[in-house]
Amino acid sequence: MAPMIQDDPAPTPSSDHKSSEAPPTLYQNVNEDSLRVGAKACLVNYGTKFEEDIVTGSKGLYVYTAKGHRVLDWTSGQMSCLIGHGHEEIVATIQDHAANLDHLFSGMISPPVVHLAQRLTSSLPVGLDKAFFLSTGGESNEAAIKMAKVYTGKFEIVGLGASWHGVTAQALGTQYHFGRKGQGPLMPGMHMLPPPNGYRSIFRNPDGSYDWETELNYGWELIDRASCGSLAACIVECIQSSAGMHVLPPGYLKALKKHCERRGMLLIVDEAQTGIGRCGDLFAINHEDVVPDILTLSKTLGNGIPLSAVVTSHEIERLCAERDFCFYTTHVNDPLPAAVGDKVLEIVLRDDLVANSRAVGAHLHTGLLRLQSRYGCVGDVRGRGLMCGLEIVGDRQNKTPDLDLAQMLSKKMYSLGLWANLSSHASFGGVFRIAPPIVITKAQVDQGLEIMERAFAETPGSQALY
């Protein structure tokens, strides 16, 4: 079925950046100064600097501020609003279930939970046969790691140096570049593989190309030396988003699974951001034709509603149940978020949004490469489907990060009406992480690219090449 999408004309950013259409009306005429004072007085800093503007509305591909500034949202909220903000069918689903079937005792089963499990597992390869549903990505990864430990009877977990899997104890133990400080010892038995970074890795073939195989084998050699002989699982993202949108090289995931099988380990794939069509395949594992032992989903599955999933095989589920695996939470298998997830999957499959992600993603990638050809500060463009990274450097030859220039570009884009999240932490390297809703049209991509082009042209230090 052809995508139910129409290209709309790309508006030119206005000089005062005001929207020509009426923004959502839930929060009109708010007192921004009072809200900022309240935020400073009452909100905990949880590891990020709050943006200055107060956001009062969101609809479709846009967010709206108290000042009337309409901003094209190229990160889908927190990489989650897969089919856009305020999607009418999602709104209706939430309203229906808030009124009629919202939350239950955790041992009760309801139709939306069964329907989501059926639709999800029927969309996945054989071997990913049974599912249960939680609230966040970190929670689903925590459950998957616990499941791997119970199934194997072992406790050591391997992660990649640039992954982000959550902030709960076991999930945090598998990510290595941020969030680990100030809390004393982390979970025992955690090991790190080198982050696969084709742009910056020191592992090179004689022709200069990225030698990821040597890097991966070297990493496993180090882990084998460090291991106490209790390797249970390896967890991996197919695109390392938080570290700057680094795509696993072709063949990497298959090689990783072979390493796991050799050591009697399970492979866990975290598709929080890549799942449900984002990367031009329904699931990123489809692209490499790899079936992990456990798959986790979150973010995109709930379109911004807290929903995550753990999916595994009949055999792993059977043995874990025999061994009293327990991950019993207040919101496990809640009906309202499950109904939303089922509706998201229905819409993505019905409207062929995977094909849209693939086609419009290629259009986006071409546009970003065109920017790279025009501005010397663009060191690298990478990604797949509607998940792209654009890395800002001060010197292409030496690949020197330029975080200050990246910040100036980010502020300029935002002032012109585009939110493209900048990874500003030093370990992230000044990368724009671009992941718009997969209902985006080529015209809307062109609108964002036009804003980016103008921001580069008007920002000192962007190194215009022509």
Instruction: Label residue 347 left, alpha or beta by phi (over 0 means left) and psi (-120 to 50 means alpha).
Output: alpha
Q: Is the distance from CB of 371 to CB of 390 less than 8 angstroms?
A: yes
How many C-beta atoms lie closer than 10 Å to residue 315's C-beta? 13
What CA–CA distance (Å, rounded) separates 115 from 119? 6
Spell out a b/e string for 208-221, using b for 16 or more CB atoms within 10 Å of the CB, else e: eebbbeebbeebbe
The angle, 0 to 180 degrees and rounded to 10, between the axes of the packed helices 212-226 and 252-262 is 20
Residues identified as active-site: 164, 237, 270, 273, 299, 433
Sign of CA dihedral 158, 256, 260, 241: positive
What CA–CA distance (Å, rounded) separates 111 from 164? 33
Q: Is the distance from CB of 223 to CB of 234 less than 8 angstroms?
A: no
What CA–CA distance (Å, rounded) separates 360 from 321? 43
Place of tokens 């935020």: 39
What CA–CA distance (Å, rounded) separates 298 from 318? 24
